[in-house]
Amino acid sequence: MTESFDPEWGSSTLGIRAAEPRTANREHSASVSMTSSYVFRSAAEAAAVFQGEAPGYVYSRFTNPTVEAFERRLAAMEGGQSCVATASGMAAVLSLCLALLKQGDHILAARGLFGATVNLFNNVLGRFGVTTSYVDTTADVAAWKAALQPNTKLLFVETPSNPLCELTDIAALAQLAHAHGAWLCVDNCFLTPVLQQPLKLGADFVIHSATKYIDGQGRGIGGAIVGDAERVGKDVFGFMRTAGPCMSPFNAWLFLKGLETLGVRMRAHCENARAVAEWLERQPSVVRVFYPGLASHPQHVLAQRQQHGYGAIVSFEVEGGREAAWRLIDATRMLSITANLGDTRTTITHPATTTHGRISQQARDAAGITEGLVRVAVGLEDTRDIIADLARGLATLR
């Protein structure tokens, strides 16, 4: 049973109140529906539910009350008609592509995508005759236009990009895609629906790694696809029913609870990140800071227009290349040295030798990922403690 809600509510209210699952026990906080299948009162009822002629749950590979509550709540927050939850963020990318593309189709993607997404496109989908090419300057819509092929069916972008926080104009890219008869998918992992709603800007699909900010506490792996009732509600859902990369009810419960605090957490992440970025910009040993919330960011105006906040990924460049960057990272005592993000804990990483270590030097140079670049995913600790730890790192550069 699900309580009704108003789709016009703000994202914090929707995150708390939309699609609240409530059983006959009238529990206030959502419970977990840990069951693989459902029973029927008669053979006739079973037949009707199986045929889709009567409502009801059948089997948790494709319908489960806790998973459905998470899907409906996330769809409401993104402003989408339908959502399908998946076992991971990567399963979301895979499910979208396998549900909608066929042999001979082409994907046009941003160069700086999450590494596993690039591997999936090149080394998995490539074996089945779906080709992918990449646009270097993802901020430049003309570059996307020039790279379109007659068989381009899907444009795929992460904005802000990782790790340099380069933005893509979602509305302009959606227009370009639609004029070409293609779809636009935005991986909205970095900002979440609290800070950016790509569907409202014209994108067709939103992908999430729920593993990151939606959980927000580093506890579980999950993902989701949000979009319209036809492509997502029928095609992707049908793929899920058949192929089965589904989310477990327990993880859906974690993420459902995560959505309840997403608004307040994202605003706190943004506040900390802004303070860190502004502080870094004042440090003499820092050459450059990449954060869309800074007036110095070349796309600050676009960020103000298409986002409701600037996110929590701050990258900066120090002089002295890899040796200096590693010395800085190793001198921190509180920050976690890991490439993960979207956690309460602030993390610090050296993109050139970790997240982007497997791409060629040439590709790294083209993307502007230098040896002196450090990425911080700002968490929820007290601002002064995060800054004090970074100061400890920067002190080794003098």
Nearest-5° Cα angle at 330, 324 to 335: 120
Q: How far is the CB of 222 from ligand PLP (least distance, A)?
A: 7
Q: Should residue 209 be labelled a site residue for ligand PLP when binding is judged by CB under 6 A?
A: yes
Interface with ligand PLP (CB under 6 A), residue from 211, 248, 315, 355: 211
Least distance from C-beta 53 to ligand PLP, angstroms?
36
Query: In angstroms, what is the minimal distance from the CB of 175 to ligand PLP?
Result: 23
Residue 347, beta-bridge partner list: 336, 377
Strand order in the sheet with 183-187: 82-86, 223-227, 205-209, 183-187, 152-158, 106-110, 131-135
**Closest CB to ligand PLP among residues 89, 311:** 89
What is the rounded CA–CA span in Å between residue 387 and residue 90? 33
Q: Stretches 20-28, 110-118, 329-337, 361-369: which one binds ligand PLP (CB under 6 A)?
A: 110-118
User: For ligand PLP, which stretch binds (CB under 6 A), given 54-62, 84-92, 163-171, 344-352?
Assistant: 84-92
The least distance separating ligand PLP from the CB of residue 52, rounded to whole angstroms, comes to 30
The nearer residue to ligand PLP, 120 or 148, going by C-beta atoms, is 120
269 binds ligand PLP (CB under 6 A): no
Does 168 interact with ligand PLP (rule: CB under 6 A)? no
**Contact between 90 and ligand PLP (CB under 6 A)?**
yes
Contact stretch for ligand PLP (CB under 6 A) within 11-19, 111-119, 300-308, 316-324:
111-119
Rank residues 90 and 148 by Cβ distance to ligand PLP and give the closer one: 90
Cβ-count burial of 333 within 10 angstroms (0-12 exposed, 13-18 middle, 19+ buried)? exposed
Q: Which stretch binds ligand PLP (CB under 6 A): 147-155, 207-215, 234-242, 286-294?
A: 207-215
Q: What separation in angstroms does the CA of 346 have from each of 130, 332, 387? A: 38, 11, 11
Nearer to ligand PLP by Cβ, of 225 and 294: the residue is: 225
Residue 379 engages ligand PLP in binding (rule: CB under 6 A): no
Q: How many CB atoms lie within 10 A of CB 51?
A: 8
The DSSP call for residue 2 is B
Which of the ranges 164-172, 204-212, 242-250, 349-357 carries the binding residues for ligand PLP, by CB under 6 A? 204-212
Q: What is the DSSP annotation of 247-296?
A: PPHHHHHHHHHHHHHHHHHHHHHHHHHHHHHHHHHT-TTEEEEE-TTSTT
Q: Which two tokens stand for residue 301?
A: 């105006």
For ligand PLP, the binding residue among 72, 111, 212, 231 (CB under 6 A) is 212
CA separation for the pair 374, 351 (Å, rounded): 7
Site pattern 179..198 for ligand PLP (x: CB under 6 A): --------x-x---------
CB 185 within 8 A of CB 207: yes
Show contacts with ligand PLP in window 140-159 (CB under 6 A).
158
Can residue 88 be called a binding residue for ligand PLP (CB under 6 A)? yes
* Out of 80, 220, 223, 258, the residue judged to bind ligand PLP by CB under 6 A: 223
> Nearest 5°: phi and psi at 56?
145, 160
Residue 96 burial (CB count, 10 A): 28
178, with CB counted inside 10 A (0-12, 13-18, 19+), is middle
* DSSP secondary structure, 224-243, as one string: EEEE-TTIIIIIIHHHHHHH
- Please report, as ranges, the residues that interact with ligand PLP according to CB under 6 A: 88-90, 114, 116-117, 158, 187, 189, 209, 211-212, 221, 223
